[in-house]
């Protein structure tokens, strides 16, 4: 990561990265088409029960809500999470490296101002999340985003990103405690 990208990301509180528009659009289409199948089955069930007039508004709401949720998730996935540490940039970098190592994540890039690691998925190898830590004095900015393939990617990962982000924050907090109270 270049220093200019690092500075702009921190200033805007959003990780600047090249978007995979094809993967994003394809992922939204996949989620929408799968959701459409479920909505059709849902509407057919209402028709069988003789409640077809009640099912149409629900069907329309469902058809609109999932694509909107997917677009919202895509728009928020680059947001940075601030972790206050009260440590110098060098100590923060060591702290992040310790946290990523503790979590078993593979460090892919390590510069004085940014650390990028791969948080592998236990079910699909090489299709896990990418954790990015932007390092400053007193603060670490974290972002966790899931990767995709040439066949697209889901716009949301069913809470996995948030769980791994919370684990990274907890590892940083516990590492900070160890670092501060070290004799």
pLDDT score of 178 = 75
**Contact (CB, 8 A) for 114 and 8:** no
Domain boundary (32, 57, 75) is at 75
State the Cα–Cα distance between residues 6 and 17, nearest whole angstrom. Answer: 10
Instruction: Give the pLDDT confidence of 9-40 residue by residue, as tens digits.
Output: 889 988 887 766 677 777 777 777 777 787 77
Q: 45 is in which domain, residue-wise? A: 21-75
Whether residue 3 lies inside any domain: the answer is no
Has residue 8 been placed in a domain? no
- Count of domains in the chain? 2
**99, 173: one domain:** yes
Same domain, 130 and 153: yes
Same domain, 142 and 114: yes
The reply to whether 84 and 61 lie within a common domain is no
Q: Is residue 6 part of a domain?
A: no
Q: Name the token pair of 81.
A: 């999470």
Which residues have a Cβ under 8 Å from the Cβ of 166 and sit 6 or more positions away? none
The CATH number of whichever domain residue 100 belongs to comes to 3.30.310.80
SS3 label, residue 175 = helix
140-178, pLDDT tens digit by residue? 999 988 766 555 566 566 667 788 888 999 999 888 877
Whether the CB-CB separation of 26 and 149 falls below 8 Å is answered with no
| Tokens linked to 49 | 């029960």
- The whole-angstrom separation of Cα 56 and Cα 171 is 48
pTM greater than 0.85: no
Residue 123: which residues within 8 A CB-CB, separation 6 or more? none
pLDDT of residue 176: 82
Q: Are residues 168 and 100 in the same domain?
A: yes
As a whole number of angstroms, the distance between CA 44 and CA 118 comes to 43
Q: Is 154 within the bounds of a domain?
A: yes
Residue 1 inside a domain? The answer is no
101 and 164 share a domain? yes
Residues 57 and 94 in one domain: no
Confidence of residue 132 (pLDDT cuts 50, 70, 90): very high
Is residue 12 included in any domain, yes or no? no
Q: Report residue 77 as tokens.
A: 């996935």
Distance CA 11, CA 130 (A): 21
């Amino acid at each position: 990561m270049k220093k200019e990208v690092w500075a702009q990301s921190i200033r805007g509180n959003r990780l600047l990265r090249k978007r995979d528009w094809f993967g994003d659009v394809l992922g939204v289409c996949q989620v929408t088409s799968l959701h459409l199948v479920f909505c059709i089955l849902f509407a057919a069930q209402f028709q069988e029960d003789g409640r077809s007039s009640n099912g149409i508004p629900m069907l329309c709401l469902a058809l609109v809500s999932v694509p909107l949720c997917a677009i919202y998730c895509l728009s928020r996935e680059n947001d940075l999470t601030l972790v206050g540490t009260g440590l110098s940039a060098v100590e923060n970098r060591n702290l992040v490296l310790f946290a990523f190592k503790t979590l078993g994540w593979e460090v892919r890039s390590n510069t004085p101002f940014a650390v990028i690691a791969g948080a592998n998925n236990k079910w699909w190898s090489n299709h896990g999340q990418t954790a990015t830590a932007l390092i400053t004095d007193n603060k670490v900015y974290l972002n966790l985003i899931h990767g995709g393939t040439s066949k697209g990617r889901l716009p949301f990962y069913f809470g996995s990103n948030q769980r791994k982000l919370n684990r990274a924050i907890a590892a940083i907090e516990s590492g900070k405690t160890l670092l501060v109270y070290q004799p």
